[in-house]
Amino acid sequence: MSKGIVLLAAGGTGGHVFPAEALAFKLKERGYSVHLVTDSRAERYAGKFPAEEIHVVPSATIGSKNPVAVARSLWTLWSGMRAAKKLIQRLQPVIVVGFGGYPTVPPLLAASRLGVATMIHEQNAVMGRANKALATRVQAIAGGFLPEGGAAFSDKTVTTGNPVRPAIIAAAEVPYTPSHTGEAFNLVVFGGSQGAQYFSKALPTAISLLDDALRVRLRITQQVRPEDMEMVSGCVARLEMGADIAPFFTDMAERLARAHLVICRSGASTVSEISVIGRPAVLVPYPHALDHDQAANAAALAATGGAKVIAQSELSPEKIAAILTAVMNDPEKLSHMAAAAKLAGKPDAANLLADMVEAIAAGRTIAEFKRTRA
């Protein structure tokens, strides 16, 4: 018999959905039923998400100064609030947990007004707009990087780390094996939902600048936007090298486990997953990220020695080629980076977050929960 329904709310990008998915698995193991509220973008993740049902409610972000656009967004949010209220009244969840993104706003506001327990999880080192709008209304805040002291809402914040998917936990069991001279070198390159275009243009040029002896060792996995597939595939064919090119990889955890180096953006989930698995990385924060959250995330891993952070404005194809040349000839350095990254990982974040969800759902205060951890 189920202990009750937990309603998770998350925006439809991987950065929001993956932590929610990790928590969902833990809650299912503990006897809860899980439902997900999201948007249509999450359909590609729906097959693996362990929810009894996935719901879509209207939502919108108010980013425009145009009065007509603002009015339209407010109407959509009001419609989403009504739909979320009906959903919550029907499901009777024991708690509603938000993971950021504008689709979380209607269900969290509706739950708060209905007196249902609420909490949010912020993946980044800088709180996103949706979570910032909800922070005063929820009972508890879990943070991937957020500090528990000396910051806004510190009285209700617990630093749990970012929960990672079971596939990442499994990948973390694979030890890092360095690639020596003459051996295949697995390079994984991805940019998230917004950042893959830059790598699509820069990486093939960088590869063409490598010495032949290094280029033949490379085995590349690269996430590429659909509109860039033809260009990148053509470059790979001309370079006559081994590469898997796709807009999305369902087995990315396994590919990361095999990686000798990762070049990627520094979204919160990405940084957390690389840390848990323990792989050396070159992090290139998305330069247009709101509040520069990716730069803050990257700095947290770089501080441990597990990653090198380079601004996109400073990362030319020539510099990428120089980095690859240096690290492919220095496997010991990459091994040290891999070990440092793994020390920064928090593989138990999903369990701690599940503990927190159960505590708040049971009516305990965040102060009581913190005392149990002391």
d(CA 142, CA 85): 24
**Do residues 292 and 176 share a domain?**
yes
Task: With a cut of 90, say whether residue 33 has pLDDT above it.
Answer: yes
Joined tokens for residue 274:
């690389």
Range picked from 62-66, 251-255, 267-271, 288-292 for highest mean pLDDT: 251-255
Binding residues for UDP-N-acetyl-alpha-D-glucosamine: 13-15, 124, 165, 193, 294
Joined tokens for residue 119:
């909490």
Binding residues: 13-15, 124, 165, 193, 294
DSSP H or E segment with residue 29:
helix 14-29
**Do residues 140 and 204 share a domain?**
no
Task: With a cut of 70, say whether residue 353 has pLDDT above it.
Answer: yes
Q: How many structural domains comprise the chain?
A: 2
Beta strands in the chain (DSSP E): 5-9, 33-38, 53-56, 95-98, 117-122, 140-143, 157-159, 185-190, 218-223, 242-246, 261-264, 281-283, 307-309
Q: How confident is the model at residue 148 (pLDDT cuts 50, 70, 90)?
A: low
- Residue the block writes with tokens 């520069």: 292
Task: With a cut of 60, say whether residue 150 has pLDDT above it.
Answer: no
**Do residues 158 and 11 share a domain?**
yes
Q: How confident is the model at residue 181 (pLDDT cuts 50, 70, 90)?
A: very high
Q: Specify whether the CB–CB gap between 117 and 138 falls below 8 A.
A: no
Q: Specify whether the CB–CB gap between 212 and 276 falls below 8 A.
A: no
Alpha helices, DSSP H, located in 209-316 = 212-215, 229-239, 252-258, 268-277, 293-302
**Do residues 240 and 193 share a domain?**
yes
The range of the structural domain enclosing residue 236 comes to 169-344
Dihedrals phi, psi of 55, to nearest 5 degrees: -115, 145
pLDDT of residue 360: 97
Of 115-124, 242-251, 358-367, the least confident: 242-251
pLDDT digits (tens, 9 = 90+) for 196-246: 688 988 998 999 999 999 999 999 999 988 888 888 888 877 877 778 998
Rounded mean pLDDT of the chain? 89
pLDDT digits (tens, 9 = 90+) for 237-265: 787 777 899 888 889 999 999 999 999 99
pLDDT digits (tens, 9 = 90+) for 53-110: 999 887 766 666 677 666 776 677 778 789 999 999 999 999 999 999 888 999 999 9
**Do residues 186 and 254 share a domain?**
yes
**Do residues 182 and 94 share a domain?**
no
SS3 content of the chain, % helix, strand, coil (to 5): 50, 15, 35
Q: At what angle do helices 268-277 and 293-302 cross, to 10 degrees?
A: 20
Task: With a cut of 70, say whether residue 357 has pLDDT above it.
Answer: yes
**Do residues 156 and 186 share a domain?**
no
**Do residues 62 and 190 share a domain?**
no
pLDDT of residue 227: 86
Neighbouring C-beta atoms of residue 105, cutoff 10 Å: 27
**Do residues 243 and 127 share a domain?**
no
pLDDT of residue 239: 78
pLDDT of residue 11: 85
Q: Shortest CA distance to 302 belongs to which of 322, 282, 324?
A: 282
Give 104-161 as a DSSP string: GHHHHHHHHHHT-EEEEEE-SSS--HHHHHHTTTSSEEEESS--SSSSTTGGGEEE--
Contacts with 285 (C-beta within 8 Å, 6 or more apart), sequence order: 265, 266, 292, 294, 295, 297, 298, 309, 311, 312
Separation of CA 113 from chain center: 29
Task: With a cut of 60, say whether residue 336 has pLDDT above it.
Answer: yes
**Do residues 177 and 151 share a domain?**
no
Q: How confident is the model at residue 301 (pLDDT cuts 50, 70, 90)?
A: very high
**Do residues 128 and 229 share a domain?**
no
CATH of the domain at 205: 3.40.50.2000
Task: With a cut of 80, say whether residue 116 has pLDDT above it.
Answer: yes
Joined tokens for residue 267:
């979204």
The three-state secondary structure class of 323 is: helix
**Do residues 72 and 129 share a domain?**
yes
pLDDT of residue 78: 76
